[in-house]
């Protein structure tokens, strides 16, 4: 595991991602998911929207860092929160 730079933010992000996935599994275990059609071009369940949000978050961060580096990381965080909330509620 020496190849990875295990800093506190890395560990927090890993546990937050794992906790989110475990939470949606538990939530869908108690309340079976119902597909609905929002602005996304396909009918989705809450798990589908979570998966799409996670992929969008990674994509936004990678694109931001490719073009702007690690300066002002609050910008992609704000963009990701807005996009993830829109996908979760309206998607």
- What confidence tens digit (pLDDT) does each residue in 45-55 have? 998 999 999 99
**Nearest-angstrom CA–CA distance, 14 and 4:** 13
The band of 56, judged by pLDDT with boundaries at 50, 70 and 90, is very high
**Nearest-angstrom CA–CA distance, 32 and 1:** 38
**How confident is the prediction for the chain on average, in pLDDT?**
89
> In the predicted model, is pLDDT for residue 23 greater than 90?
yes
> In the predicted model, is pLDDT for residue 6 greater than 90?
no
Dihedral angle sign, alpha carbons of residues 74, 1, 20, 46: positive
The band of 57, judged by pLDDT with boundaries at 50, 70 and 90, is very high
pTM: 0.79
C-alpha distances (whole Å) from 84 to each of 1, 30, 50, 57, 60 are 31, 23, 8, 8, 11
């Amino acid at each position: 595991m020496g190849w990875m730079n295990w800093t506190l933010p890395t560990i927090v992000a890993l546990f937050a991602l794992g906790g989110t996935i475990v939470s949606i599994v538990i939530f869908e275990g108690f309340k079976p998911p119902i597909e609905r059609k929002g602005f996304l071009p396909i009918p989705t369940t809450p798990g589908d929207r979570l998966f799409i949000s996670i992929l969008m978050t990674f994509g936004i961060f990678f694109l931001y860092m490719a073009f702007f580096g690690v300066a002002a990381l609050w910008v992609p965080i704000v963009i990701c929160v807005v996009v993830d909330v829109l996908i979760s509620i309206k998607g």
